[in-house]
Structure 1
Amino acid sequence: MSACLGYLCAAVAALSARPLGRAVPVCLALCGAVVVPFVLLVLTGTAQSEVGVIERSGLLTLRQATPYLPDPHTVGEVTPYLPGMAVFGLPRAVLGESGPLPGLLGDARLWCAAALLGCLWAARRAMRRPAGGPSAVGGGASRGYAVGAFVASPAVALPLCVSGVDLPLTGLLFLTLAFAARRRPVAAGLALAAACSLKWTAWPAVAVASASP
């Protein structure tokens, strides 16, 4: 409901007779689809089950140096992700849940979203100028609005608010492609390796990167 209201306000602002530019519609969409539901869900402790899985894996890593139990007996004791995903559960393991501020800062969704945004920022910088040539993309403001609209879109806003587990993976793959397009193989390889340490679903990207010219 919050996202629908944000999208509606963004559409009205975009179609307004007075030219408001791109900033106002994008900000309205971000507020309605991301900021308000994210803060509400985090403060109320509402999330999909994978958030608890990430946070538990971070706690296990802190205690026993591995996110996996040697003899799990229930589905809830199984960690289906690769070891790198436990990094996003470490803030919860360190801060705990005593108080609203530790509860907010320890939420794995916050750090998954930060990883996505950080990767998008780094990919934007990498794409700013190709090797030995002029800028391959539009102006900085246009790119900023495009990133904001991308984050506010349902495909990103919904998982960002309720789960977050696929966001770091997506961001690292964006970064891999950006580095590969700029002929930076070492940086692309490091970003791809980081993505492959999170989930098995990143591994097909190795074949894609290897086949790229």
Structure 2
Amino acid sequence: MVGIATDLRARLLDAAFYALCAAFAAVTALTSTLLPHRAWGTIAWIAYAAGAALVLLIGRHRVVPLLFVTTALLPLLVEAVQRASGRTDRAQEEVLVVEQMGDRLAHTGTPYLAREAIAALPEPDRLLGYAPYQPGMSVFGLPRAAFGDAWWTDARVWFAVVTTFCLVYCLNLLRPHADPLRLAQAVAVLPLCTLTLATGGDDLPVLTLCLLALALSARNRYTAAGVAVGLAGALKLFALPVALVLLVLILATASRRAIGFAATALGIPLLALLPALLVNADAYIENAVRFPSGHGLVTSPAQSPLPGHLIATALPAGRTIALALLLLAGAVIALMLFRRPPRTAGVAAAYIAAGLTAAIMLTPATRFGYLLYPVAFLAFWWSLRKTADPDPA
């Protein structure tokens, strides 16, 4: 009887969570100023509402894949088909940027435009001329460059393919040792992730590759973990803190295998970067360094009102203050890693969540959507919390 009551409480809690997700999606459908978000909400709120009822009937684990299909993959495919049919309001700007990266890579050998080329664009087009990603992201734009406009050449479709593969692989690795339900919900059901995948999507392959690296580390497969996080680092620099924390974990628990991990985790991003540097190093610096740091020809639209942005805009020398606080937070976390290095993948995930939260909160140019990273890493830690260090940092 106790087990039945516990299961019922858990189902009711999940039903309430899905009902809140349905409310968020409905509000998005009615009020969002971004048309791709409205299109997502129109479909997703019905799916979430149905999930709130289904979890009481078919169980907590079975409803998660259904919700992933109906709240992420289905809206994505609908928007991709509508876009291929001529709708110009069915993708966020990052999708266009990634596809332009693929086109440039195919025709010039580098996914980046130089500063002079961006300056020559009409002023409204200069923002989309920037590509603040690592060179590997351009791979997702190659299908459209090679085969033209079709629903299946939409970069989001390929984001979803990689995301689904990595997430399923990650969950299968964890399942013998833990119940990764909360992790699955954080990545496959939470609107922060489903909305992102359906309308933009470039963060989800990075996130799931990093989660896969953590899961592989939990199984002591460190070289494979290095490959996973190295591939993530070839897409976005968000993967670099993950690689560094995992390196500390390996040095603390299996130091002889650290070289193999480091060779793949750091070598893959460097190999991906090399062609772009050889073709035009200054173009890479303009896109991946100057623009995100606020020194491009246009200002980054990533300006959510988080503490770093508020400090940078409201105080004298605010940008310097925000960056100093960011460096201080990084130094504190580095000291914690040195004094109490993680000894399990779960504790490593908690460190990563803390570091990324500090970075997102204190960086002058940031956005709410990036919070999907620490949320997912906290869910990973939660899934493995029973196997965590007895005295975690």
TM-score range, shorter chain: 0.7 to 0.9
CA distances 1:82-109 after superposition (whole Å, capped 9, x unpaired): 1000011111111101xxxxx1111000
CA RMSD of aligned residues (A): 2.3
Q: TM-score, normalised by structure 2?
A: 0.46
Assess, with a 3 A threshold, how the Cα gap between structure 1 residues 109 and 127 changes in structure 2: closer, same or farther: same
Match of 2:167 in 1: 120
CA distances 1:19-51 after superposition (whole Å, capped 9, x unpaired): 434476445533541243222211122110000
Counterparts of 1:114 and 1:47, CA distance in 2:
17
Say which SS state the counterpart of residue 44 (structure 1) adopts: helix
Query: Is 1:38–2:76 an aligned residue pair?
Result: yes
Match of 2:8 in 1: none
Q: TM-score, normalised by structure 1?
A: 0.82
Counterparts of 2:91 and 2:54, CA distance in 1:
31
CA distances 1:173-199 after superposition (whole Å, capped 9, x unpaired): 011101111111211111111111111
Counterparts of 1:23 and 1:190, CA distance in 2:
29
**Aligned positions of 1:80-95 closer than 5 A:** 80-95=132-147
Count, aligned residues: 195
Counterparts of 2:61 and 2:228, CA distance in 1:
31
Assess, with a 3 A threshold, how the Cα gap between structure 1 residues 171 and 96 changes in structure 2: closer, same or farther: same
Match of 1:131 in 2: none
8 Å CA contact 1:119, 1:172 repeated in 2: yes
Question: What residue ranges of structure 1 are gaps of 5+ in the alignment?
Answer: 98-102, 129-134
Counterparts of 2:136 and 2:225, CA distance in 1:
17
Counterparts of 2:131 and 2:200, CA distance in 1:
15
Query: Is 1:162–2:199 an aligned residue pair?
Result: yes
Counterparts of 1:126 and 1:36, CA distance in 2:
26
Assess, with a 3 A threshold, how the Cα gap between structure 1 residues 196 and 115 changes in structure 2: closer, same or farther: same
8 Å CA contact 2:67, 2:188 repeated in 1: no
Is 26-35 or 67-76 further displaced after alignment?
Answer: 26-35
Matched to 1:116, the amino acid is T
Q: Which structure shows the bigger proportion of residues in helix conformation?
A: 2
Assess, with a 3 A threshold, how the Cα gap between structure 1 residues 150 and 35 changes in structure 2: closer, same or farther: same
Query: Is 1:29–2:78 an aligned residue pair?
Result: no
Query: Is 1:78–2:134 an aligned residue pair?
Result: no
Question: What residue ranges of structure 2 are gaps of 5+ in the alignment?
Answer: 1-41, 84-89, 120-125, 253-393
Match of 2:44 in 1: 3
Matched to 2:48, the amino acid is Y
Match of 1:176 in 2: 213
For the pair shown, which has the larger CA radius of gyration, 1 or 2?
2
Counterparts of 2:68 and 2:113, CA distance in 1:
39
Match of 1:151 in 2: 188
Assess, with a 3 A threshold, how the Cα gap between structure 1 residues 211 and 156 changes in structure 2: closer, same or farther: same
Assess, with a 3 A threshold, how the Cα gap between structure 1 residues 106 and 26 changes in structure 2: closer, same or farther: same
The match for 1:54 among 98, 102, 111 is: 98
Shift of 1:168: 0.9
Counterparts of 1:205 and 1:148, CA distance in 2:
21
Is 198-207 or 165-174 further displaced after alignment?
Answer: 198-207
CA distances 1:45-101 after superposition (whole Å, capped 9, x unpaired): 21100000000000111111110123322222111111000011111111101xxxx
Query: Is 1:194–2:235 an aligned residue pair?
Result: no
Counterparts of 2:95 and 2:165, CA distance in 1:
20
